[in-house]
Structure formats: structure tokens, C-alpha cells
Amino acid sequence: MYCINCGVKLSDGQTVCPICKTPVYHPDIDIKNGTPTYPNIDTPPEEYNKKGIMFVITFIFLIPLTLSLICDLSINHSIVWAGYVIGALIITYVSVVLPFWFVHPNPVIFVPCSFAACAVFLVYINFQTGGHWYLSFALPIVAVCAMITTAAVTLLRYIKRGHLYIYGSVCIAIGLFMVLVEILSNITFSLRSTLVWSAYPLIAFFIIGMMLIIVAIVKPFRESLHKMFFIK
């Protein structure tokens, strides 16, 4: 038999640990006066400095950013490929790390910020590659995608019920977004004059979206799914 607090080996007749004075439980010994079997040890929660952790993560992001810039300048004597690495790191930082600097980060604010960072990065890529696709293709695609995502996040955050309507509407919007992508790509890159592939995701997302909306409308069906999958 061993003490549950300090682990010292005890004899069968001992009722208290001789080292830490912890009461010892033995099935053959009667416990008097309601003495607890196990010691009441209150472990205070560990505290951590959130800002300190964020500074460390920021420093970790700065390491590859600085190294890529130094390597590019030392090899090519100009910024050739480091801009792509730096842009990708900045987008990742803005999307993933930046919200944690705030006590209560609001996704309604940070989602558009992430898309804005993507839009700026695409401007840089367009400039570096000498392309003419930003205004006619990249900017509308990013803007529409940002509007769909921000609208969905806003509705899900501030509306407590009717999420199936939101999911269904988002699915239909994604299907229409695929059509927009093909139309803009055909215009910008002079690919073809007809729609070829966008009809398939449009039909698929439209069916899924309508099914979700129908489930939201039909109360018995919605209640049965709620019991099975806890869907609101």
C-alpha cells in the first residue's frame, strides 16, 4: 500500500502517512469524522502571458521573412522571388495570427481584412509578372468571394436560429460564383465564348442549397434531423 500523495510505501496498519500526514484509506479501517479518502489539493490554474506568446509567434514569422529577403538580395541583387514569400507570410499572419492579438476578435472585421490582404498580394503578383488580369479577373473574384464569406460569417454570428437557410443560400451563391469565375476567365484570357465546366458545380451546389432550405422549411423533417445531428 502506498500514499496517494507522496508515494511512500506504507504498512497495512497505518492510517496516516508518516511523511506528508495524508489520511490513508484501507478497506479494513473505519474512517471516522468524515475524513476524506483523498487529499483536497487545489491546483491553481496556470497563467500565461498572451502578449508574450504573440510576440514569440510574430518573431517566428519574421525569421523566414527576413531570411528570404536576405537570400534573394544576396543572390539576385534585387527582389525577385522573396516578394512572393513575404506576401504569403503576411496573408497567413493577417488571417491566422492577427485576430489573437485582440481579447474578443470579431470575424466580421477580420474576414474582410484577410481578403483585402489577398487583393493587395495579387496586385503585387500582377505587377511582377506584367499581367493584365487583376482588374478584369482577380479583383472581382476576390471581392465577390469576400462578400459571400463576410455575409455568411455575419449572419451566423448575429442570428442564432435559421442556420440552414444561411447554409443553403451560401451553397447557391457558391454555385453562381463558379459561373462568374468561368465568365471572367473566358473574358480575361480569351478562352472560349461558352460556359463549359461551371454548370456542373452550379447544379450540384444549387441542389444542395435547395435541399437545406427545404429541410429548414419542413418542420417535421428539420426536427428529425435536429435529433440526429443537432442541427438548428
Per-residue pLDDT, 26: 57
Nearest to 108 by CA among 117, 100, 99: 99
Per-residue pLDDT, 1: 66
- Residue 111, CA distances (Å) to 20, 88, 98, 170 in order: 55, 16, 11, 16
Nearest to 123 by CA among 83, 89, 95: 83
Per-residue pLDDT, 33: 53
Spatial contact of 182 and 198, defined as CB atoms under 8 Å apart: yes
Per-residue pLDDT, 36: 53
Q: What residues in the chain have per-residue pLDDT under 50?
A: none
Per-residue pLDDT, 187: 94
The amino acid occupying position 135 is: L
Query: What digits encode the pLDDT tens for the residues 66-120?
Result: 999 999 999 999 999 999 999 999 999 999 999 999 988 899 999 999 999 999 9
Per-residue pLDDT, 159: 92
Per-residue pLDDT, 37: 52
Residues 6+ apart with CB under 8 A from 12: 1, 26, 28
Per-residue pLDDT, 49: 80
Looking up cell 448575429, which residue turns up?
158
